[in-house]
Amino acid sequence: MKQTLCAFTAYCILQVLGFMGYPASQQLMAQKKNIPFVYDVENTGAQLVTQPTFTPLDQLKEETTLPNPFQWSNGKGEVKNFKQWAKRRAEIAFEIQHYEIGLKPTVAMEDIDARMSDDTLIVDVHVHGQTLTLRSKIFYPTGGTAPYPLMIGASMNALPNKFFTERNIAMATFSERQVNSYSQMGKAAGRGNYAFDKLYPQLTENGAYSEWAWGFSRLLDGLQKLGPEVTKIDMSHIGVTGCSYAGKMALFCGAFDERVALIIAQEPGGGGAASWRVSRTLGNVENLDRTDYNWFKESLKVNFGEEKVNKLPHDRHELLAMCCPRAVLLLGNPDYEWLADPSMYVSANAALRVWERFGIADRMGYSIVAGHGHCQLPESQYPEVEAFIDKFLLGKETNTMIRIAPEDYSARYKWEDWAPWK
């Protein structure tokens, strides 16, 4: 009864704030501990770190454990409270772009034109006299009331559709090939020859993940510019999901756009949630030396391959941490060694300390379960996924304190040893 009354009180506060004309980000600030669930801008730290500084490669220090996600990039002190987190998050974003994936350019809203054609969202992005057009068909629920929550599949949605159709949640797909191909290969392809490259020919080092994240954000620009009256979509309840390489894509898209309320990364493997450092200590797994370098900057392997990985100023737990205070659920499958799930387990627990420090640990969870095919979610994992969808796309009270891994993981892969700063 007490929980019901608290939820009702919070709902009433949001209704009053909405009536008074407060934007979504401020309305959500009325929630638990004054920490929002989502924002109405792509990057809250855009004005906080405008001229990042990077340590020269020959001056980077070696760290054999995971870097402290709270420590400022200049090494002087660390984040003490949530108010400072937006700046630290922006620092991490710049580091990942600089060392790993290349620049994700910003686009002003006045350079975006958007329209709906039947149920298809069409977004025209104008840059340097060039135009790139993105399309995404929205599958609306047959029941419920607009505006609807929306789950976007990165490349595709490998989760059962019934999770969304039964809950009156709209679905869409972000086709990354509108921006860049799966592997940048083929006679008519290669770095510098894709749609994104025609807008930004100077970004010759970019890997696909920065460009895919850029395209995903432009779809959100279109939804935001048209508004719920036109799109019938609730911008405060948008999720992104994907599996395998698209699990990485979902993670990058969600991490780099704070308008996403829920990120579900399904079996993302190395270069996604799995730590570069930890993966190097494992067997036949995707690690920094063995990944598709069409997805990342080729200089990543040159600068940080083999033992030099310990000089990388950050690691994948910080990509995860970029999603905080928003919600993240990681889904693993230890039957496939290549996915490096023990490494993801370490990263997840290290990243979880960020949510814990701000008192919102229920917004980050992981479920690593064997006994099923790749990208084929078993019924045993349904409850975890449904709990996150219900809480963060529908606003229901559910238990999302989910920490599921094989029994031997805690003894064999001691995340505490990798995170001495915890």
Mean pLDDT of 47-75: 94
Indicate if the pLDDT at residue 1 is higher than 90: no
Mean pLDDT of 6-34: 40
Map out the domains of the chain as residue ranges.
1-30, 36-418
Under 8 Å CB-to-CB from 105, ≥6 apart: which residues? 127, 200, 203, 214
How would residue 33 be classed by pLDDT, with cut points 50, 70 and 90?
low
Question: Which of 244, 294, 300, 263 has the alpha carbon at shortest distance from 151?
Answer: 263
Mean pLDDT of 262-278: 97
Cα separation, 354 vs 422, whole angstroms: 9
Contact indicator for 113, 134 with CB cutoff of 8 Å? no
CATH number of 36-418: 3.40.50.1820
Mean pLDDT of 246-253: 97
Please list the active-site residues.
244, 374
Mean pLDDT of 337-343: 97
How would residue 183 be classed by pLDDT, with cut points 50, 70 and 90?
low
Mean pLDDT of 257-278: 97
Q: Which amino acid is at 340?
A: A
Question: What's the pTM value of the predicted model, to 2 decimals?
Answer: 0.91
Written as six digits, the tokens of 279 are: 């993966």
Cα separation, 309 vs 346, whole angstroms: 16
Tens of pLDDT, residues 297-337: 999 999 999 999 999 999 999 999 999 999 999 999 999 99
Cα separation, 309 vs 62, whole angstroms: 8
Contact indicator for 19, 64 with CB cutoff of 8 Å? no
Contact indicator for 239, 149 with CB cutoff of 8 Å? yes
Contact indicator for 112, 132 with CB cutoff of 8 Å? no
Phi, psi of 173 (to 5 degrees): -130, 135
Tens of pLDDT, residues 220-244: 999 999 999 999 999 999 999 999 9
Q: Residue 22 has what pLDDT?
A: 34
How would residue 130 be classed by pLDDT, with cut points 50, 70 and 90?
very high
Tens of pLDDT, residues 348-386: 999 999 999 999 999 999 999 999 999 999 999 999 999
Cα separation values, 365 from 6, 347, 348, 355, 388, Å: 24, 12, 8, 10, 9
Contact indicator for 325, 37 with CB cutoff of 8 Å? yes
Strands across the sheet containing 262-266: 112-117, 120-127, 130-139, 170-174, 148-154, 233-243, 262-266, 327-332, 364-368, 403-404
What secondary structure, in 3-state letters, does the chain show? CHHHHHHHHHHHHHHHHHHCCCCHHHHHCCCHHHCCCCCCCCCCCCCCCCCCCCCCHHHCCCCCCCCCCCECCCCCCECCCHHHHHHHHHHHHHHHHHHHHCCCCCCCHHHEEEEEECCEEEEEEEECCEEEEEEEEEECCCCCCCCEEEEEEECCCCCCCHHHHCCCCEEEEECHHHCCCCCCCCCCCCCCCCHHHHHCCCCCCCCHHHHHHHHHHHHHHHHHHHCHHHHCEEEEEEEEEEECHHHHHHHHHHHCCCCCCEEEEECCCECCCECHHHHCCCCCCCECCECCCCCCCHHHHHHHCHHHHHHCCCCHHHHHHCCCCCEEEEEECCCCHHHCHHHHHHHHHHHHHHHHHCCCHHHEEEEECCCCCCCCCCHHHHHHHHHHHHHHCCCCCCCCCCEECCCCHHHHCCHHHHCCCC
Mean pLDDT of 43-57: 93
How would residue 123 be classed by pLDDT, with cut points 50, 70 and 90?
very high
Long-range contacts: 196-204, Cβ < 8 Å, 24+?
Answer: 196/132, 198/130, 198/132, 199/125, 199/127, 199/128, 199/130, 199/132, 200/103, 200/105, 200/127, 200/128, 203/102, 203/103, 203/105
